Structure 1
Amino acid sequence: MAQDQDQGSDAELAQLLRQLVVETDRFAEMFGAAHGMHRTDLNALTVIMDAARRGAPMSPSQLAAALHLSASATTAVLDRLEAAGHLHRDRDPTDRRRVELVMADHAMQLGQRFFTPLGAELAEAWATLTARERRTIARFLAASIDATVRVRTRLVQPRP
């Protein structure tokens, strides 16, 4: 990237962030195309996986809210993912009315096989960053995500 007086400006950071989003979208679309999955299906699996990693079981209504989908659209996504064997719906043992979404082990393994090379390449690209630089980048990304969520929340009302 060329060095100039605009390096690090708000405009450049926004442009680079957009470019990263486009490139990661292209990468995810390759995975989806290779496995016959819609982009919304991939987003759903990501949200469910991230919730599981936090130890917070995901319900269909929580998934609908996270993806800003109607109940019927969420059911269609879950039906496709379940039919493909990527997840299953479990009843909460303490409250049988509550349904928890659980990713199948093979879906996790499939994602790991595809995304591990990207993780390795990113780790190599980040290897020269200091701990302080990494903390700054983490703060930047978290602030960018928070800002995006705030604007999205103001612009879009939840669907019934």
Structure 2
Amino acid sequence: MYRPRDTRRGHLVAEIVADLRRYSVDAQHIGHAFANLHGLNATDLQALIAVMDAELAGDPITPGRLGEHLNLSSGSVTALVDRLERGGHVRRGRDTADRRKVFLRYADRGAALAREFFRPLGQRTDAVMANFSDEELEVVHRFLTVMVGSMREHRDDVRTARPETPRRPPG
């Protein structure tokens, strides 16, 4: 954990770390509210975000890649995708070049639900970003890109070190 020194930079870094933590917690609360509203669990929500991110990047995700991303077995991924497909959140599609390959895509119904729920947040986000210059936004983007990479590295390290069976606290 970062321990700030009695410097302006130390205080600024400590404030940024606290802001990131608060942002993360608030984002989780909003995500859980969306999930609860639509009968989804935390893993369902993570899967939907992964499907959306892959589509936005122009590289639709396969069930296998989704399983790697979520650290799930193939059987768990199949059950997850089946559940999300039944709920109208995702759809399976075949690759036009290789019909054996399946891609997961956001279904129209699921995308509409997400747009409706997150539209006010998007409007707030747009209003906040309008107050920053392009140069400032470039710095923020660079910072967040590096922070996300660092967080993912740590997540992967934690997954690697985690024992196969969850430990329960004594008592």
Give the fraction of aligned pairs with identical amino acids, expressed as a percent. 35
1:15-94 equivalent positions in 2, closer than 5 A: 15-94=18-97
1:1-160 equivalent positions in 2, closer than 5 A: 5=8, 6-9=10-13, 11-157=14-160
Moved over 3 A (4+): 4-7
Q: Deviations over 1:4-47 (max 9, x none)?
A: 945422x3222211110100110111111111111211111111
Opposite residue 12 of structure 2, the aligned amino acid is G
1:158 Cα deviation from its structure 2 partner: 9.8
Tell me, what secondary structure is at the counterpart of 2:22? helix
What's the TM-score once normalised by structure 1's chain length? Answer: 0.88
For structure 2, which runs of at least 5 residues remain unmatched after alignment?
1-6, 165-171
1:71 Cα deviation from its structure 2 partner: 1.5
Q: Does the aligned pair in 2 maintain the 1:57–1:101 contact within 8 Å?
A: yes
Rg (Cα) greater in structure: 2
For structure 1, which runs of at least 5 residues remain unmatched after alignment?
none
| Higher RCO (CA-CA < 8 Å; seq separation 6+) | 1
Opposite residue 95 of structure 2, the aligned amino acid is D
Q: Deviations over 1:128-156 (max 9, x none)?
A: 21111111111111111011111222232
Q: Does the aligned pair in 2 maintain the 1:29–1:39 contact within 8 Å?
A: yes
2-structure distance, mates of 1:153, 1:28: 22
Q: 1:124 to 1:101 in 2, by over 3 A?
A: same
Over the residues paired in the alignment, what is the CA RMSD in angstroms? 2.1
Aligned residues: 156
Name which of structure 1's ranges 67-76 and 21-30 shifts more when overlaid on structure 2: 67-76
2-structure distance, mates of 1:8, 1:39: 33
Q: Does the aligned pair in 2 maintain the 1:65–1:158 contact within 8 Å?
A: no
What's the TM-score once normalised by structure 2's chain length? Answer: 0.83
